[in-house]
Amino acid sequence: MSNSNGKFIITGEHSVVYGEPALVCELKKSLKVSLVEANKLYRSKYEKYIFEIFSKKFNKDVSKLKIIVASQLPSKSGLGSSAAFAHAIFKSLSKYYKINISKDEMFKLVMQAEVFIHKNSSGIDPYSVVYGGINFFQKDINLGEYLIKKIDLPISYDFLLINSGSATESTGEMVAKVSVLTKQNYKKKVINKMGNISREIIKQLSNGNFDGLLLDENHSELENLGVVGKKANEMIKKIKQVGAHVKITGAGGIETGSGWLLVFDDDLNKIIKLCKQNSWEYIKTKVK
């Protein structure tokens, strides 16, 4: 059995696709994959593609292998489930065939799978699930190169993740939605502003003086991009009414839920109380 943890983005959703910086953190919730041999099996298009990548890369017959999945990561939630899925399968296949795959090579394999499922992938999810930890992530969209560095925070921060419901739309569909905004000059201004917000959030966290106000600004710009649905916004309104700071984490969603919300407050107990009152699913996580 092989596992892969998920991730959540503290700042930089969507703007990271356009070369702005982001901060991504490993989530200690995992997806586990086991391999068994089977004569009859069904594979989704994504699963089939992952197996084909491995088969072509290492010249192995994978036609009789079936996966069994146990996951704590819901799909279409912004927690990196598709990247973790590919990562866990590649890890399982490498163990099965006793092939040593470096992390750099694993990142390339998971990235290849992510491009298939999400089309215009920044690479942030594949990098996070493969390397873990807290990472500054930025892509040079002209050269296709990455600027990535581990971040060691001077103090730890407690965040709450609250489920607004799975999105009907995939990450790829939400990224495509942003890419075809009719007012392109307006989109550029929003993306640039989000990049500046991300730089300041990263600076505050790195200096140990994060107060959370910038999460609210970040959320406003995500709203301006049109990636936050009605249900999530209603939840966010209630969370802000008790004084907490909040934004979506991930690509978002419109028709139903927008994935998970990232909440910061000096007293998360009052937010947990709010979650219980409204029967909201939540995860408490520490960032350090």
53: left (phi over 0), alpha (psi -120 to 50) or beta: alpha
Query: For residue 1, what pLDDT is reported?
Result: 86
Q: Is the pTM of this model over 0.75?
A: yes
Query: For residue 179, what pLDDT is reported?
Result: 85
Token output for 38 = 């089977």
Domains of the chain: 2-150 (3.30.230.10), 157-287 (3.30.70.890)
Residue of 113, 177, 179, 110 whose CA lies nearest to 141: 179
DSSP codes joined into one string, 30-66: EEEEEEEE-SS----HHHHHHHHHHHHHHT---TTEE
- The total of other beta-carbon atoms located within 10 Å of residue 116's CB is 18
- Three-state DSSP class for 260? strand
Strands 260-264 and 245-248, bridge-based pairing: antiparallel
Contacts for 7 with CB less than 8 Å, ≥ 6 apart: 24, 25, 26, 27, 79, 80, 83, 84, 124, 125, 128, 129
Query: For residue 180, what pLDDT is reported?
Result: 82
Spans of the chain below 70 pLDDT = 182-183
- Three-state DSSP class for 217? helix
Token output for 266 = 């000096």
In angstroms, the CA 79 to CA 82 distance is 9
Query: For residue 183, what pLDDT is reported?
Result: 67
Query: For residue 176, what pLDDT is reported?
Result: 86
Token output for 46 = 């994504």
In angstroms, the CA 272 to CA 288 distance is 21
Query: For residue 177, what pLDDT is reported?
Result: 87
